[in-house]
Amino acid sequence: MTAPLRRRGPRPLPLHLGLAGMRALAATSSLPGTPWQSALPSSNAGWPISKAGRKERERILAALAAAGHGPDVFGAAVLTRLARADRAMIAGLAAYRRHPWQRQAPDPPAIWAEGGSRLLDFGGEGPTVLFVPSLVNRAYVLDLTPARSFMRWLPGQGFRTLLLDWGWPAEAERGFTLTDYVAGRLERALAAAPGPVVLSGYCMGGLLALAAALRRPDRVRALALLATPWDFHAGPDGPRRARTAAALLPGLETMMEPTGALPVDAIQSLFALLDPFGIAQKFRAFARLDPGSERAELFVALEDWLNDGIPLPAPVARQCLAGWYGRNEPGRLAWRVAGQVVDPAAWEGPAFAGIPERDRIVPPASAHAAATRLRQGATHVAAGGHIGMVAGTGAERALWQPFAAWLRRL
């Protein structure tokens, strides 16, 4: 009997399937004699586009010719390989959609709430550490599963641990700007916390935490920036990638018009385009896992979290895409919150920068740009990627332990 369908993701599913189809089209368009190769413009008729790819294709064709085979053998082999890859991807998607794992960890009590936002208290004795996540993903990535919960591990190390859950933006929040979130909601959460606190921001949350720390140093004793972007044009590919994201804003305006927010599927599409063929590859790998293994359950937990996104209020989306990515306002020291310039060098207290060495979402060069401006900054380069550093199988060694060691030295 077939297991029931539990999920409709990964979202947006049509995009992921379309990207897999584009990969097949790109590969087969290089095969001699395919019907669509002659229809391609002359500038594209040499797929693969890269010189290295074309050179490799010619090497294979020459080797086949030397063995007495025509180019049709090469084409048949490529088509067989593509069909095998597509079957594996579909098998992985089906296995994910029917996997029995479900998130069951209950939320801890909230010590403060406003609108849809809550300050969750994971307990613990000792100095208070308050975590600020991104606005576009659920906060529970830091409390993913009982075995992969940064929030439930840290109290055992002697620290009171709080997590700001931004919640789903209702009608009021859909008019919020970054200043509303920082100088309003985050500052009021800080005021409700037993402090002063160690304010720790993850990803986009690091930018918000930095701005709040500069405005309320009386409530913040130390600052931690985890996988936090700063110079959005850093790195050899930084300017092109950032300006491409900014150029999408006019087209996204029509999506934001009906609800006043950038929809979850639009945000997911932007993330998918960072690594267009990576989604298919990871589901092919998932198809090979034992469904009952810890790795398979962690994969499902992370995918469920990724697909459980949050709409981004339209004013914030405009500020991020046009201001951060397009004009690189943080890196140029032109980003202001409530009129105040946000600059890591203006933070006078202790600081920690956790930078994943294999981050595809926040290029390490972007995060290092903030770390080098911190006056009392300790920089830790963690083995892993953007999500793996905080919730992967190696997260305890990669980030949790070094972070706790830094906290003890404060």
- Reported pTM: 0.88
Burial of 102 (0-12, 13-18, 19+ CB in 10 A): exposed
pLDDT of residue 321: 97
Compute the distance between CA of residue 54 and CA of residue 48 in angstroms, rounded to an integer: 6
Partners of 398 in the beta sheet? none
- Cα separation values, 378 from 80, 179, 182, 409, Å: 51, 28, 24, 11
Tell me, what DSSP letter sits at residue 4?
P
pLDDT of residue 44: 44
Compute the distance between CA of residue 337 and CA of residue 342 in angstroms, rounded to an integer: 7
Compute the distance between CA of residue 91 and CA of residue 85 in angstroms, rounded to an integer: 10
110-235+311-409: which CATH topology?
Answer: Rossmann fold (3.40.50)
Residue ranges of the chain whose pLDDT lies below 50: 1, 36, 38-47
Neighbouring C-alpha atoms within 13 Å toward the C-beta of 346:
14
Q: What is the DSSP string of 205-262?
A: HHHHHHHHHHH-GGGEEEEEEES----TT-STTHHHHHHHHHHTHHHHHHHHTTTTEE
pLDDT of residue 52: 77
Domain with CATH 3.40.50.1820 in the chain: 110-235+311-409
Q: What is the pLDDT of residues 30-39, one digit of tens each?
A: 665 555 454 4
* Nearest residue to 269 via CA among 10, 15, 7: 15
pLDDT of residue 38: 47
DSSP-based three-state secondary structure for 407: helix
Compute the distance between CA of residue 395 and CA of residue 294 in angstroms, rounded to an integer: 15
93 close to 85: Cβ distance less than 8 angstroms: no
pLDDT of residue 22: 75
